[in-house]
Amino acid sequence: MLRLSKKSEYALMAVKYMALNQNGKCITVKEIAGIYGISFQLLAKLMQKLVKNNIIISQQGTKGGYMLNKQTKDILLADVISAIEENYSLTDCIESEDPEDSCARANCCIIRDPLAKVQQKINRIFAETTIKQIL
């Protein structure tokens, strides 16, 4: 269906929200989750993934929360999405080191290479769009 997961949407919202509202101070999960009606626990774990991908940094404890770790011009759409989605590819075989391992049809498949090229074009779109551009 080519859908982005809700998780990716939430993460994008959070990153954009932080870009617009952090002014040297931390922003909490509670705040973002409250504003957009996102499950607190779910968003919390997405934020943790963003931390692991160096997109944001966390501060635990009272007055804690999150802050962006980069300038908005240096955060790509691809960064945020790939931090959340394990692999966002059109097919099972793409991005797999051994295609035959990921798909039983890999050896007889006539659309594998064409779709891989389409994938590259899509990747380019995500890699050419920065958070700054979508503020």
- The listed partner (DNA, a copy of itself, ligand SF4, none) that binds 77, CB under 5 to 8 Å by sort, is a copy of itself
User: Per CB under 6 A, does 122 bind ligand SF4?
Assistant: no
Inter-helix orientation angle 29-36/40-52, to 10°: 130
Window 37-66: residues binding DNA (CB under 7 A): 38-39, 41-42, 44-45, 47-48, 51-52, 58-66
| Residues 84-119: b if buried by 16+ CB within 10 A, e if exposed | beeebbebebbbeeebeeebeebeebeebeeebeeb
Q: Among residues 111, 118, 125, 127, which is the contact residue for ligand SF4, using CB under 6 A?
A: 111
Token pair in block for residue 65:
């929360």
Q: Which residues bind a copy of itself (CB under 8 A)?
A: 1-5, 9, 12-13, 16-17, 20, 35-37, 77, 85-92, 104-105, 108-111, 114-115, 118, 121-122, 125-126, 129, 133-134
Q: Which residues bind DNA (CB under 7 A)?
A: 1, 3, 5-7, 10, 28-30, 38-39, 41-42, 44-45, 47-48, 51-52, 58-66
